[in-house]
Amino acid sequence: MSEFVVKTENLKKWFPLRQGIFDALRGKPSQYLKAVDGVSFDIRPGEIFCLAGESGCGKTTTGRLMLRLLDPTEGHIFFDGIDITSLEGKELKTFRKKAQIIFQDPYESLSPTMSILDIVTEPLVIHNIGSKNERIEYAIKALEDVALKPAENFLRRYPHELSGGQRQRVAIARAIILKPKFIVADEPVSMLDMSIRAGILKLMLDIRERYKITYLFITHDLAIAKHICDRIAIMYLGKIVEIGSAEQVINSPHHPYTKALVAAIPIPNPLVKVGDVPIRGEVPSPINLPAGCRFHPRCPYAIAICKQVEPNLVEVEHDHMVACHLYQ
C-alpha cells in the first residue's frame, strides 16, 4: 500500500488582481491575493485529514486545488504517487473518477432543474459507465447507502422537495457512485441544522469503512474536527501553522492561533474553565501580508524576530509540527 494517497509540496495559488488603467500606465506592479502560499502535507490511506481555520484562510482553495478544480500557481500535487499538477485531457478525466467533492451548501450544489436520478447518475454519464438501466440500479444502491430508503421514492423527485439533510445525502450519493478513493468534504455539515449534523457525520464514517475512502475534511469547527478527524492541520492566511494528530492539536496546542481556536470550543459544563488566549484585531489582508510571521500583528506573545522572519514548521513531538518562533 502506498505511504500516502494525496500529497502536496509547496502548493501555492495566487489570484491576480485586476489593475485600473491608470495603474497600468504608471507601471504599477501587479498585485496578487495569496490564497494558498506554500502548503505541504500528505494524507494517508483511509485517513480523515482535517484542514481547519477561520474563514478566508485558504482551506477551500486548497481542497479545490487538490482536485484540480483550480490550477496551482506553483507546487506539486501527488495522487497515488503520480504528479497530477500538469494532467490534461483524458488523464485528468481518469483522475477525477477517483477523486470527488462534497460541497458545503446542498441548496446550491444540486441543480434545481434536475431530478435526483439525473443528479446522482450524472457522473456515470460523464464517464460513460453503464447502460440506462444499469445506471438506475447504481443510483438506487448509492441512495440506499446514504440511508434514503426506499430509494425508488426519491428518483423522480427534485431537490426543492427534500429537506436540507436529504439534499446533502443526495450530494454524498453523487460523490460515492463512482466509488472514488479520495473525497474532499468542504464544510459538509455547516449549512445543516444541529439536529441532523451527527447523522451526516456518522454516515460519512460508515461510508469510509464501506468504500475504503480517504477524506480531506475542511471545517472551521474544531469541536467537529476533534471527533471525526485523525489528523488536523491549522491554516492561517494561506499557511499551515500547526499540524498533528487530532489529540495532539486539540489537547496540547502549541501555536498561539491554535490555542485561541481551541479556547473558543464551547464546553457544555459551565463549571469547567477553559483557557483564554486573547488575539487582537482583524485578520490582515491576504493581498498585503505582514512581514515575518503572519500572525504576529494579532499575537499576544510576539517578539522582535516574529516581525522580521517567517517561521518554518518544526517538530515539537512525534508527528506534531508547529510554525512559531517560540519553538524554533
**Distance between CA atoms of residues 179 and 6, nearest Å:** 17
**pLDDT tens-digit readout, 213-267:** 999 999 999 989 998 999 999 999 999 999 999 999 999 999 999 999 998 887 7
Average pLDDT score over residue span 164-180: 96
Give the domains, in start order, of the chain with CATH numbers.
6-327 (3.40.50.300)
Average pLDDT score over residue span 28-34: 83
Torsion of CA 151, 190, 9, 314, to 10 degrees: -140
According to the model, what pLDDT value does residue 78 have?
Answer: 97
Q: Return the CA Rg of the chain.
A: 21
User: Quick check: 110 pLDDT over 50?
Assistant: yes
Among the listed residues 280, 285, 182, 298, the one whose alpha carbon sits nearest the alpha carbon of residue 241? 298
According to the model, what pLDDT value does residue 135 have?
Answer: 97
User: Could you tell me if residue 108 is left (phi over 0), alpha (psi between -120 and 50 degrees) or otherwise beta?
Assistant: alpha
Least confident of 89-98, 228-237, 281-290: 281-290
- pTM (two decimals): 0.91
According to the model, what pLDDT value does residue 160 have?
Answer: 94
* Omega of the bond leading into 150 within 30 degrees of 0 (cis): yes
**Distance between CA atoms of residues 234 and 164, nearest Å:** 28
Which residues lie closer than 8 Å to 106 by C-beta, 6 or more apart?
159, 164, 167, 168, 170, 171, 191, 192
User: Quick check: 14 pLDDT over 90?
Assistant: yes
User: Quick check: 304 pLDDT over 60?
Assistant: yes
Is 49:12 a contact under the CB 8 Å cutoff? no
Least confident of 145-149, 150-154, 189-193: 189-193
Higher pLDDT, 117 or 25: 117
